[in-house]
Structure 1
Amino acid sequence: MSSPALNTLNTVFGYSEFRPGQQQVIEAVMKGQDCLTIMPTGSGKSLCYQIPAISLAGYAIVVSPLIALMQDQVAQLEAQGVAAAFLNSTLDYQQQDDILSQVNHHQIKILYVAPEKLMQPAFLDRLAQFPPNLVAIDEAHCISQWGHDFRPDYAQLGLLKQYFPRSPFIALTATADSATQQDIIQLLKLVNPHHYVGSFDRPNIRYIQQEKFRPLNQVEAIVKSKNNQAGIIYCTSRKRVEEVTDYLQRHNFAAAAYHAGLSLEQRETAQTAWLKDDVQIMVATVAFGMGINKPDVRFVVHYDIPRSIENFYQETGRAGRDGLDSEAILLYEYADADRVRWLIEQNQNLERAQIENHKFDSMLSLAHSETCRRMVLLNYFGEGRNQGCGNCDICIDPPKKYDGLVDAQKVMSTIYRIGQNAGFNYVIEVLRGANTQRVRELGHNALSVYGIGKSKSHEYWISIARQLVHLGLLRIDITDNAHLKLTELARPYLRGDMPLELAQPRINQSQEIAKGQKDKIKPKHDKRLFERLRQLRKQLADEQDVPPYIIFNDATLVDMCIVQPQSEQQMLLVSGVGKRKLEKYGHAFLAEVNNYLSRFD
């Protein structure tokens, strides 16, 4: 590897060696070759263009889709002593002109630009007078119609080659299937690109699915178990975002809402509070988080099922970017699928709707799977895997099958006796013998099926009923208030002519898995020292008005607790501590470590 790149990695970023794939990509870019780079979130994609940009003469252009992403990347680079800037709609003409003047005078190494700004002809003509040493297209899947997040602004980027014919281009994304990858190469006119596809596996993320019974209570239990750690809860609608946020706030959790219905000021206030650890939980629509580089998100909850595996992968990938243990929890109920299908059908572009339906089918397969979640996920992206991961709900606690015929008959008989004229909740009220006004008024408390399921919980029977829907014995009639109806397939089971195997309902699954794993997880570092370093980091971050991870991320603090440095040389051995950060923050953290260790002398 060329020494300038390795030297930059070590002195600027504080890492002693490259991660898988980085070295090959960086070498190719520095030799002037185009690249298509597919790497999972948290694997160090940004370094693939930042290191060549810093090491080579001149400056680099980075095309980035979101203002928050640009601001975040620039703040982190500046903290590491790298001259970086961004151009987008938040800056006036004079500010933009000043930045371009700095670029022209070699005072900026990395320039982040929004695609709609970059593609203005007058702007391109000006940049062509001082061409970049490379052009990086971040979130490159946005250019492809096959990508899960197609953006018209990206469609014009193929013209860039005309303006910068001698500059190598590097397209980067975390999520692209083979069709999307080929589309990116073609549309950006990449010439004989170095094509690197890294592993899509994020082994530090534990994938868990819970049946959605009482989602607000489930979310409360999840958040409570996380002990003030940072998390994101994704919802499909603004109304649900408000509902979940209000519930958590009323139960004394530090939560904030983020969706397009809020003003820009409200969204920025919520995002800043979350980035600075003043708020632990961000409840948001899926628009939130793209490009947010907060490395210490310990969990992501999907309150509703995502529309594609790419969305699921990208959103869950916002957990554990620092490589530490994290969780991705999906709450799923059958009715969610109908809601998503309806949303997809609103698309006027029939071809696009067809693509989205196809992608949603794959997401449903993941949700309904009784094999390793990670195996399904990786095989979708073409990364062959035929062994369980040991770190998902299916692997840790495999579904237990049992003879479910009697339970199924109880549910189906109740539906039949009440005239196939009610949804899940009312059917189960009758089944469990609820003494409600509606039950009494309809006379259903006099039915032979009334109370025959009272020995089992509401959640238990919801699980059984949903399985019967999945098996095709029941259907949800969306034209009749989502009432449950028996299908022809139900007849032989109602008569008892055929056996029926069901999965044992999995209730409070996340807590049970966590409890079962607790004894297996041994502490890797001194937790008390970590907490002291975390408080020092927060204090310094507040003084400088930056997010704590800009100073050091959690993985660096963990390594600091393991190394326990007592000198500048030892501090430089800590992963993520470069010379600039040593000069700026090293002495404060050294003093804290030494102060802590002196208690044991």
Structure 2
Amino acid sequence: MATTPRTSTHEGQTPSAREILAQVWGFDDFRPMQDEAVNDVIAGRDSVVVLPTGGGKSLCYQVPALVREGMAVVVSPLISLMKDQVDALVSNGVAAALVNSTQSDEQKRETAARIRSGEIRLLYLAPERLLTNRTLDFLTTIPISFFAIDEAHCVSNWGHDFRPEYRGLRILKQRFPHASVHAFTATASERVREDIAGQLELRDPHILVGSFDRPNLTYRMLRRDNALRQIMSVVEQHPGESGIVYCITRKEVEQTSAALAAEGVSVRPYHAGLDDLTRHGNQEAFIREQVDVIVATVAFGMGIDKSNVRFVVHAGMPKSIEHYQQESGRAGRDGLPSQCTLLYNGGDLMTWKRILEMGDRSNFDEAMANVNSMAALCSGVQCRHAAIVNYFGQEFDVENCNACDVCLGELDMVEDPITLAQKILSNVVRLQERFGVAYNVKVLTGSRDQKITSAGHDQLSTHNLLGNESTANVRTWIEQLISQGFLERTGEFNVLRLTPPGRDLLRRQGTVTLTRAAPASAGRPSARSTADSWEGVDRGLFDLLRAKRSELATEQNVPAYIVFGDAVLRDLARLRPTSLAGLAQIRGIGERKLKEYGEIFLNEIDAYCQQHEVPRDMVIPQDHSLAAPAAAKPKSMKGAIAQREADACFAQGQSIEAVAAKMGRAQSTVRGYLNNYIRDANITDPSPWVSTQKTTAIEAAIHASEDGRLKPIFEAVEADQTIREPVGYDDIRIVVSCWQNRSDR
């Protein structure tokens, strides 16, 4: 039976939350923005939290549920997602449960009894079940700590996956006036965030928006010329690893799945046209690592909490950047490097137009605007990370992400783009701006199509002007001119028309970038990613531990990642500990999993290392050491200016809170600036940011860390009965950095 971890005896909320984070999940500290979200939930302040897929949204409500008194209720749209989260919580020793339509009456009565007894700390419900009078009446008899609404973009009609039943959740503030409500989503524009808060009738909500960037993902957007070959190029780069291939239509799913199977790929299809048993079975096979690849429509994904998806391929263009950010974000949820490849051509836009015309026409114009924005992203020449982040209204302060086809130099630049653009724009003018992309391509490449010859367009000076180029290249350049604002599609038939900047460019006024894609790069990892993530890992031992994980997961009927994630297995195969104490130092191994799996995995490591005579207890990598993790060095002028502004404030002894308020930045960002300042300015006195009492206790506990980790210091300070102030990992990092600067002098 799952147990409920006890909170810290210290006064204050953050230390208790961090203690639970370390005890239950085995993490030393929260990710950026998580700490603020956790504090809001603990404090009982309504909130809207937007964190990218893989950003750790679930911990933002799971940790507070173990800090606050009462039971937390989590609203989730899919049974499979609820089950996976409950399984993961129970495996970590947390008392969690769900109620859904697949359970028997006896199972539901048993869960109700556990709730009444106060045993359950987190209860997962679908919105439809929660909003029944019977459920609401039952919950009013239970001490409710708060409500967490997952996939909250479903609340908004402006969101990318609106669900009417989510609108009914506004009743929560009426029926449970003393319980706070917290909305969580991976993707929401400012308008959607405001709509969520309004629809749920949240009271003075704190709206937190994390960075939309996923630096561990490498993006590539390639013109589709041989989809199967391009998809196989990606799959072959990830043998035995999990991946998702998205297709626009069910027919394409079936054809692609069959073609991959014929190539020897372990693959299953998934779409709404399959019967429930087959669809569910295929999804379970993928989650439990019985197959490597799932080929699916966008119906697949929201209910997937699989952390070790190493690649996502879109065989066709998604219908919005919001959808693409969420779907591609299913790769690399564990933070390890992963690949996202998008294959597109001009026909995708028309496919989406036909699909949208068959649906609800009330939002057709906005939906097509979203499709056009996605098309512009595909054919654009801006850094993919920057383009996605900018779309969501955020700044991207890194000049070269080193993780997309643009920044990796995989796009061949046209040597004289203005002259080439003039040829294309001139053709549009000579066709009197009355035709679409496909027709312009035909004229420019010299087609003798009857429609062209009968219209006399084969007599134009621009006919066959680009006859030595492929139609794919010419189409790409037209789309790039559209994405850069020199051409626009107009009217019902998407006729091309020059914009004012386009007319200026026709007179060689302005600048333009045109490229040729390099399709062979489809599956190649980024230069910075894969080597670093595998550095020091014994691949043979990793494969052995992965097989043991799969065996244990099968025995327990849970997904493999619930036993241990890939990041944990890589650290085990990298460090090769000889004891449970060494195992406990690995990030992601909490107390329950250490007790349940520790000896099992140590035995596997022992046997392998003895057989292969490899060394044990390897040194902790530098990024796990006592040195404070610095914020990424800002490479752009804007980022450098922000760091200098923060430095000036810190030099005056201003607090993190004061600097954050002055600069309008999140405290987590400002902490990164402080780490940089302490390191670069060689600061030795932590007193402006950490009290004397805390500093004394931390410095006295530094000797507790022999392997360069912060956790032993934290635990030593926790055991110090003389200190009355709560000490967090941020305090420890600051003090240790200053202490090291003194030691280095």
Aligned residues: 570
Query: 2:533 and 2:89 mapped to 1: Cα distance?
Result: 34
Name the structure 2 match of 1:437.
none
- Deviation sequence 1:170-197 (CA, Å, 0-9, x none): 1111111111111111111111223221
- Partner Cα distance (1:27, 1:196) in 2: 12
> Equivalent residue for 2:88?
76
- Of 534, 541, 565 in structure 1, the residue corresponding to residue 577 of structure 2 is 565
Aligned twin of 1:402: 415
Q: 1:596 aligns with which of 590, 602, 608?
A: 608
Instruction: Tell me if the contact between 2:218 and 2:526 (Cα under 8 Å) persists in the aligned partners.
Output: no
Partners of 1:202 and 1:339 lie apart in 2 by: 29
Shift of 1:511: 4.6
Counterpart amino acid of residue 402 in structure 1: E
Q: Classify 1:575/1:298 alpha carbon distance in 2 versus 1 (closer, same or farther; 3 Å).
A: same
Secondary structure of the structure 2 residue equivalent to 1:112? strand
Q: Confirm or deny: 8 A CA contact 2:545 2:604 kept in the other structure.
A: yes
Do the aligned partners of 1:245 and 1:256 also contact (CA within 8 Å) in 2? yes
Matched, 1:536 2:570: no
Alpha-carbon spacing, 1:120–1:39, altered in 2? closer, same or farther (3 Å): same
Distance 2:206 2:487 in 1: 52
CA separation in 2, counterparts of 1:501 and 1:354? 28
* 1:299 and 2:311 matched: yes
Measured after TM superposition, the shift of residue 497 of structure 1 is 11
Instruction: Give the aligned partner of residue 463 of structure 1.
Output: 473
Q: In structure 1, what is the equivalent of residue 354 of structure 2?
A: 342
Letter in 1 for 2:136: L
Q: Following TM superposition, by how much is the alpha carbon of 1:468 offset from its aligned partner in structure 2, in angstroms?
A: 4.2
For residues 209-358 of structure 1, what are the structure 2 equivalents within 5 Å?
209-350=221-362, 352-358=363-369
Distance 1:589 1:516, change over 3 A: closer
Letter in 2 for 1:132: I
Instruction: Give the SS at the match of 2:30.
Output: coil
Show CA shifts across 1:391-441 (max 9, x none).
Answer: 11111115411348799989x99xx9xxx9x979x979x9899xxxxxxxx
* SS in structure 2 of the partner of residue 46 of structure 1: helix
1:17 aligns with 29
Alpha-carbon displacement from aligned partner over 1:488-528 (angstroms, at most 9, x marks no partner)? 99xxxxxx999998845323242585486799758423222
Equivalent of 1:524 in 511, 535, 539: 535
- Could you tell me which residue of structure 2 aligns to residue 508 of structure 1? 519
CA distance in 2 between partners of 1:383 and 1:487 (Å): 30
CA spacing shift, 1:349–1:479, aligned 2, 3 Å: closer
Question: Distance between the aligned counterparts of 1:363 and 1:255, measured in 2?
Answer: 28
Q: Distance in 2 between matches of 1:200 and 1:57?
A: 33
Aligned-partner residue type, residue 316 of structure 2: D
Q: Offset of 1:31 from its aligned partner?
A: 2.0
Farther off after superposition, 72-81 or 511-520: 511-520
SS in 2 for 1:307: coil
Structure 1 residues 55 and 505, CA gap change in structure 2 (3 angstroms): same
Distance 1:385 1:2, change over 3 A: closer
Deviation string 1:161-219 (CA, Å, 9 cap, x unpaired) is 11111112111111111111111111111112232211111100011111111112211
- Assess, with a 3 A threshold, how the Cα gap between structure 1 residues 522 and 180 changes in structure 2: closer, same or farther: closer
Give the aligned residue type for 2:588: G
Q: Name the SS of the counterpart of 1:402 in structure 2.
A: coil
Where in structure 1 do 4 or more consecutive aligned residues deviate above 6 Å?
Answer: 404-410, 430-433, 451-456, 472-480, 485-489, 496-502, 515-520
TM-score when normalising by structure 2: 0.70
Match of 1:367 in 2: 378
Indicate if the aligned counterparts of 1:5 and 1:55 stay in contact, CA closer than 8 A: yes
Whether the 8 Å CA contact 1:467–1:502 is kept in 2: the answer is: no
Alignment partner, residue 169 of structure 1: 181
Q: What's the CA shift for 1:587?
A: 0.7
Q: Give the CA deviation at 1:140.
A: 0.8
Corresponding letter in the other structure for 2:413: K
What is the identity, as a one-letter code, of the residue corresponding to 1:73? Q
What displacement does 1:387 show? Answer: 3.9
Shift in alpha-carbon separation, 1:427–1:246, aligned structure 2, 3 A = farther
CA offset digits 1:424-459 (Å, max 9, x no partner): 9x979x9899xxxxxxxxxxxxxxxxx999998xxx
Q: Write the distance in 1 (CA, Å) between the matches of 2:267 and 2:397.
A: 39
Q: Matched residue of 1:395: which SS?
A: coil
8 Å CA contact 2:146, 2:181 repeated in 1:
yes
Kept after mapping to 1: 8 A contact 2:337/2:533 = no
Give the letter aligned to residue 128 of structure 1. Answer: T
Deviation string for 1:24-46 (max 9, x for gaps)?
22222222221211111112110
Shift of 1:55: 2.4
Q: Where does the alignment leave 5 or more consecutive residues of structure 2 unmatched?
A: 1-12, 449-463, 500-505, 615-745
Contact 2:234 2:524 in 1 (8 A): no
Distance in 1 between residues matched to 2:375 and 2:199, nearest whole Å: 30
- The one-character-per-residue Cα deviations of 1:239-262 (angstroms, maximum 9, x if unpaired) are 010010010011110010000110
* Structure with greater contact order relative to length (CA < 8 Å, sep ≥ 6): 1
| Alpha-carbon distance in 2 for matches of 1:522, 1:234 | 26
Instruction: Please tell me whether the aligned partners of residues 84 and 559 of structure 2 are also in contact (alpha carbons under 8 angstroms).
Output: no
Cα deviation, residue 564, structure 1? 2.1
Asked if structure 2 preserves the Cα contact closer than 8 Å seen for 1:408 and 1:465, the reply is: no
Whole-angstrom CA distance in 2 between matches of 1:169 and 1:84: 19
Determine helix, strand or coil for the equivalent of 2:66: helix
Q: 1:301 to 1:179 in 2, by over 3 A?
A: same
